[in-house]
Structure 1
Amino acid sequence: MSKAALTLEEVSKHNTKDDCWLIIAGKVYNVTKFLEDHPGGDDVLLSSTAKDATDDFEDVGHSSTARAMLDEYYVGDIDTATIPARTKYAPPKQPHYNQDKTPEFIIKILQFLVPLAILGLAVAIRMYTKSESA
């Protein structure tokens, strides 16, 4: 017999050192007994309560042993419809950063004039070497 899916509201109530539940990959885990043994400390786990902690768990790069340990703390599945949809981070729109503070129009002029000057110098040298050999 399968357990009914838990809501985020139900899981969110378990957010203390005496009662700590986490949501990882659609499953709910009661990690209260593991708080003292967690290598990162209990604050790391407590900060991941009342939300989907999957990204927090995956970002650390837990070992296969740590993943296997989750089984003993399994409480049930989360009703994913109760978890707010994650929005993709979009950085704020900002103007192009010009590190050397050179006005953009000067850069555009130089991008045109420098190659032109190099070409002119090459032609002048070529003409000078031709006139000396004649």
Structure 2
Amino acid sequence: MAKKKKPKDVSAEFRNTQLTDALQTQDMAAVAFALRHGPTVVPLLRPGSRDDPRDSGEVWTYRDPATGDVALLLFSDATHKPATLPPHVGLHSPLWLRDFLATHGEVITTVFFDIAGPHPLQAAPADLLAALEA
């Protein structure tokens, strides 16, 4: 009789423990270090194609219907993403985040980390870009 494979815990792979710790202390230097040296969990409107490693999916952003302001929501851990957001997440590198902010920083008005907790933090895209380039 063949053994059934135990399902892989994907959520264990979608986290940045250093970023979680930095958000807990609200230490901006530690947040910057964690962003420069580890991945960031990003909600996706459309997941990337498994057959195309260049396709990282389509990042979901929030547009305030009253003001038109656009917010990028990032997470230190996939378990911190509210269920009301799109179900898919991507794990993106510091280089990806730097390039994304450099490309879309003029449109994005704010970046939220772990918006629903346990330790939310808000930052300006330009500040994050400067931290990533330091």
TM class by smaller structure: under 0.3
Which structure has greater helix proportion? 1
Length-normalised TM-score, structure 1: 0.27
Higher share in strand: 2
Q: TM-score, normalised by structure 2?
A: 0.27
Max Rg structure: 1
